[in-house]
Amino acid sequence: MPPSRFTINRESAVFVGALLLLLFVSPVADWWARLDVHWTTPYALWLLVIVAAFLINGRKDPDEP
Amino acid sequence: MSHELATLFGAGVVYLLILFLIAYATDQGYVPSRWVSHPLVYTLSVGVYATSWTYYGSVGYAAHNGLLFLTIYIGATLAFVLSPVLLRPILKLSREYQLTSLADLLAFRYRSQAAGVLVTLFMLIGTLPYIALQIRAVTESLYVLSNEVPPNTIALVFCATLILFGVLFGTRHISPREKHRGLVVAIAFESLVKLVVLLMIGSYALSVAFGGSAGLDAWLEANPQALDALYAPVNQSPWMALVFLSFAAAFLLPRQFHMLFAENLETRALKTATWAMPAFLLLLNFSIPIILWAGQKLQLQMNPDYYVLGITLVHGPSWLSLLAFIGGLSAASAMVIVTSIALASMSLNHLLLPASYPDPAMNLYRWILWGRRLLIGLIIMAGYGFYAGLKHSAGLVELGLISFVAVAQFLPGIAGLLYWRRATRSGFILGLLGGICVWSVLLLAPLLYASGILITDLGIPPIVEASGLNKWAFATFATLTVNGGLFILVSLLTRQSPGELEAARACCTESMVTLSGVVVAGSPGEFRALLASALGQEMADREVDQALKDLGLRANERRTPELRRLRERIERNLSGLLGPQLAHIIVNRRLELDSEAKTALADSLRYVEDRLETSRSQMQGLSVELDNLRRLHRQILQDLPLGVCATDNQGKIVLWNLALEGMTGVEARQLVGSRLDRVPRPWDGLLGGFARSGENHIYRMELPVAGKPRWYNLHKAAYAEPDFNDDDTSDAKSRPGMVMLIEDLTDLGNLEAELAHNDRLASVGRLAAGVAHEIGNPVTGIASLAQNLRHEEDPEIVRQSVEDIIDQTRRISTILSTLKSFSRGSGHLRQTETFALHEAIEQAVHLMRLSHKHDGIRFEASCPPHIILTGNHQQLSQVLVNLLNNAADASQPGDRVDVLARVDADEAVIEVMDQGQGIPEELHETIFEPFYTTKPTGQGTGLGLSLAYKIIEDHEGTMDIDSQAGLGTRVIVNLPLRKSQQPYEPLAHH
């Protein structure tokens, strides 16, 4: 049985949340912080999360008017 | 460079005036509504999250803790991206149950006034340092920019202005259903100001300190320790704790909850905020490292907390530093205004009203309004007291984080609210108390000790140091471990009250429960009278009217399920005014439920369908499929072109479909749940009578509707109800429900009548043609005889011809008489006589021979003279003429037409035979129908054979056709022989 749109949105949201945690609260964060990266790198990663959130929110929810 | 204190004060006053103007213009409707309700305005209003801590404190925090400042916004981003599982359920709950604050939400879920009181008190204690922080940021910014210690009156004027703003624009409406649009737009404007100013200062810092981004990169390359310091704290002990704290603060802080949920104008705006709010925070923080490094490069001799101002003071134009001050002022004022409004609402609902509920005789609305206004003032002044009482030892971020840890104590309760139905009131309260105790010891006590209020720090700092953890990580871990542990443990050991269980189910919308109990009060009028003793008559009337309006019910509503819904709606509306717990208590005590009364299927169905409509998006898997199936079945019944009315086993209407709405002009929502006798006249009699009758079908029942008669077919059948209420053991369960189908025949009848009318009109035309045809034959005969007479001199022939003419005129007269009889549809014989069949046959043959139309046809007759019949001689002659005429028409010149007569038993059999093309078998039945003809148009009327058939029927005879295509036709007429022994006398004219 295919999941409902609501389920998809919730799962997508959890996925984006997990992506944020992976990038900022995990050994991955240690890794990029130790590299000799540009000072804007954390902002670029943050932007990546925002873009992902933007993309999943482009979908229309079933309870939207 | 520095500014005059008066200039700064003047700039601040002008800015706050602009803020007043924006809020006023919005409230007055000068700002287009589509701007006000735009999702980006909502997002900017939620940007109240960024206070002077962000504006000033982030640079200072970054100076000492590197990228740690970013955790405060990464955590908030997490909360927003998780919006579908976190924020949206809370928004739905708060809108549905009119919950305006976190205290309302938790008191509603745990059905506990104590929970509301505890949450409010803790929120007040935890947030006051935060308000103090804002006041301090404003006064310190004045000091930085003017180099003068600002007098206390400036802080007081600042607070007084914010109180005025909060009173004017934050308490315009007392019901949460009406949003404070002016406040929302003003706060959004403040967010825009702080964002733009911070970006401007960042750009200025980049330009003045480094000459551009290339210069910054070069400086960082030359000073690698700056970048190392920035990245050093990533993933160290406080990193995760701060992400977690800011995650909680992003939606639990009073100002956040207020702007996110209480002032939300459009549900869809939250969806935009999911990505737009993190984007706003990103932009806001992008300048922070630049300003920090610019301050370091320019070697500013000041607290890094105020580098934002310091940068502008070094080389910048004076307007830029004024703008920088305004940006900080906007960040601080927005926070204080929204926080005070939110805390005032919480304090009123959970502290003031329960402690001293006003006399219902007074105007409760006014009391609530002034109570909120007073509380706004008190809360801001308490923040000022905290500011004045605290020594300025703690950094801006320190004060903010103390509040963050306090707010995080509500997370276990929220998690239980959304996802753990087993969580109990005792677990929540004890867990929260445990968390508060640990928070007070670990964070509040050292702050008070540092300010000289306490004489001891309780020996906490050494313990924290020994743990090896950062202070914030330790406090977060310790408080939430105690809080969460107690919450889970006590919840598992205690049981929920019925009210708590009901609220827990309401919070977890996947579970669907039917309404139980029936309201004792029987009408909205009784609701008013009962509520007046608690709310006062005016408020009771307004609340009942509002709830009736919300539900689209009439003032004389008496249906049980609708009254149950009305009660629920009143409780929700009151919840927005008095708080959920007080509203629950008032409604429970005044509008009592009879829990013993059985809930009818109609009542349960309506409630469940309402809930399904509002919670469909929460469904998953099989429940979605079942709901789709339910909708399909319901839609089929709704769209059925027959009226459908179903009643449950208590005789209450459960279904009234669209076709029936159309027939009766009564909407389903007015009737579902009522008994059939509540259906308006004349339908009550029709449906009620049919339901009671023993008949399962009634056909063509006439009913006067709007003064005109209409006709209906009615059908009914009994159906067994599903076990909706398993605990229902009453007799009602054994009684079946009933479904009735109502078929409106009126339109069909009208159509039939119209068709019949058209047919009659066509018949008239055909009849006229038929008459002409029938009369045409004898007229032709008369004309021929008359022509012959002109040249005839033989008196005998002349006499014979005259006789023939008279005969033909008599025949015409007879035809007309027959037609009259045919048109009346009551054929009967007139002028019966006894005559010899051969005379009639010869007469007909003779007539045919006279007509030149059939000159080439030979007519032969054979009839024994003893066959005597009783009937109308003229009519039978006409039959024979018609038959001979048809036979001649079907024949070719040279063909023969025979008329044979014989006796068979007690009947005379006459056969008229031709040698024509015959009649196909499929036409044998139809050719006797009136006006049916196979002849070309204009040559036949279709009346001849039908007239003949009718005349034979009148003589109690029969007429049959024996014909095959190509083999000629034989018409067989059977007539009864004369019944009496009356002697036969030949006709005089023969």
pLDDT digits (tens, 9 = 90+) for B72-95: 999 999 999 999 889 998 998 888
Strand B697-705, strand B858-862: pairing: unpaired
Q: What does the alpha-carbon distance between residue B656 and residue B670 come to, in Å, rounded to a whole number?
A: 10
Within 8 A of A33 by CB-CB distance, chain B residues are 67, 231-232, 234-235
CATH 3.30.450.20 intervals, chain B:
617-723+730-744
Average pLDDT rounded to a whole number, residues B217-224: 91
Q: What's the domain range around A35? A: 5-56
pLDDT at B557 over 70: yes
* Residue A43 belongs to some domain of the structure: yes
**Whose CA is closest to B277, among B92, B50, B33?**
B50
Chain A nearest CA to B168, separation (Å): 33
Average pLDDT rounded to a whole number, residues B954-982: 81
Please report where in the chains the tokens 């000492």 appear, as a residue: B64
Specify whether the CB–CB gap between B640 and B528 falls below 8 A: no
Three-class DSSP category at B828:
coil
pLDDT band at B827 (very low <50, low <70, confident <90, very high): very low
pTM over 0.80: no
- The pLDDT of residue B981 is 43
Within 8 A of A53 by CB-CB distance, chain B residues are 80-81, 274-275, 278
Q: Any alpha helices (H) in B440-470, and if so which ranges? A: 445-450, 460-467
pLDDT at A57 over 90: no
pLDDT band at B360 (very low <50, low <70, confident <90, very high): confident
Which three-class secondary structure string do you get for B56-98?
A: HHHHHHHHHHHHHHHHHHHHHHHHHHCCCCCHHHHHHHHHHCC
- The pLDDT of residue B145 is 84
Specify whether the CB–CB gap between B524 and B566 falls below 8 A: yes
Q: What does the alpha-carbon distance between residue B315 and residue B169 come to, in Å, rounded to a whole number?
A: 39
pLDDT at B597 over 80: no
pLDDT at B987 over 50: no
* Residue A48 belongs to some domain of the structure: yes
Any CB–CB contact under 8 A between A39 and chain B? yes
Of A26, A50, A62, the CB nearest to B617: A62
More confident site: A25 or B727: A25
* Total domains present in chain A: 1
Q: Do A13 and B74 touch (CB under 8 A)?
A: no
pLDDT at B780 over 50: yes
Facing residues of B701 across strands?
A: B712
Least confident of B223-227, B440-444, B472-476, B676-680: B676-680
Buried b (16+ CB within 10 A) or exposed e, B946-981: bbbbbbbebbebebebebeeeebbbbebbbbbbeee
Task: Report in angstroms the alpha-carbon separations of B646 from B342, B601, B716, B721, B795.
Answer: 49, 11, 9, 11, 91
pLDDT at B785 over 60: yes
Q: Do B231 and A34 touch (CB under 8 A)?
A: yes
CATH homologous superfamily, domain B811-976:
Histidine kinase-like ATPase, C-terminal domain (3.30.565.10)
* Residue A65 belongs to some domain of the structure: no
pLDDT at B985 over 80: no
Please write the tens of the pLDDT for every residue from B707-737.
Answer: 888 888 889 888 876 554 444 445 545 567 8
- B5-405 is a CATH 1.10.8.60 domain: no
Number of A to B CB contacts under 8 A, please give it.
105
Torsion of CA B743, B749, B752, B758, to 10 degrees: -150
Please write the tens of the pLDDT for every residue from B262-289.
Answer: 999 888 899 999 999 999 999 999 999 9
Q: Which residues of B touch A (CB under 8 A)?
A: 67, 70, 74, 77-78, 80-85, 217, 220, 227, 230-232, 234-235, 239-240, 243, 267-268, 271-272, 274-275, 278-279, 282, 285-286, 289, 616-622, 624-625
- The pLDDT of residue A2 is 47
Specify whether the CB–CB gap between B185 and B38 falls below 8 A: no
Q: Do B286 and A43 touch (CB under 8 A)?
A: yes
pLDDT band at B480 (very low <50, low <70, confident <90, very high): very high
Give the range with max mean pLDDT: B138-142, B219-223, B754-758, B854-858.
Answer: B219-223
Q: What does the alpha-carbon distance between residue B108 and residue B110 come to, in Å, rounded to a whole number?
A: 6
Please write the tens of the pLDDT for every residue from B396-422.
Answer: 667 778 888 999 999 999 999 988 888
Within 8 A of B231 by CB-CB distance, chain A residues are 33-34
Of B82, B231, B239, the CB nearest to A13: B82
Q: Do A42 and B279 touch (CB under 8 A)?
A: no
Residue of A nearest to B79 (CA): A17
* Residue A36 belongs to some domain of the structure: yes
What kind and span of H or E run contains B980? none
Average pLDDT, chain B: 83
Please report where in the chains the tokens 């339910």 appear, as a residue: B630
CATH 1.20.1730.10 intervals, chain B:
5-405
- Interface confidence, given as ipTM, is 0.90
pLDDT band at B829 (very low <50, low <70, confident <90, very high): low
Disruptive mutation site among A4, A38, A64 for chain B (greatest number of B CBs within 10 Å): A4
CATH 3.30.565.10 intervals, chain B:
811-976
**Whose CA is closest to B335, among B159, B511, B90?**
B159
pLDDT at B555 over 50: yes
- The pLDDT of residue B989 is 42
pLDDT at B4 over 80: no
More confident site: A8 or B473: B473
Fold of B617-723+730-744: Beta-Lactamase (3.30.450)
**Whose CA is closest to B780, among B696, B700, B881?**
B881
pLDDT at A65 over 50: no
* Residue A49 belongs to some domain of the structure: yes
What kind and span of H or E run contains B523? none
Q: What does the alpha-carbon distance between residue B316 and residue B314 come to, in Å, rounded to a whole number?
A: 6
* Residue A13 belongs to some domain of the structure: yes
- The pLDDT of residue B671 is 81
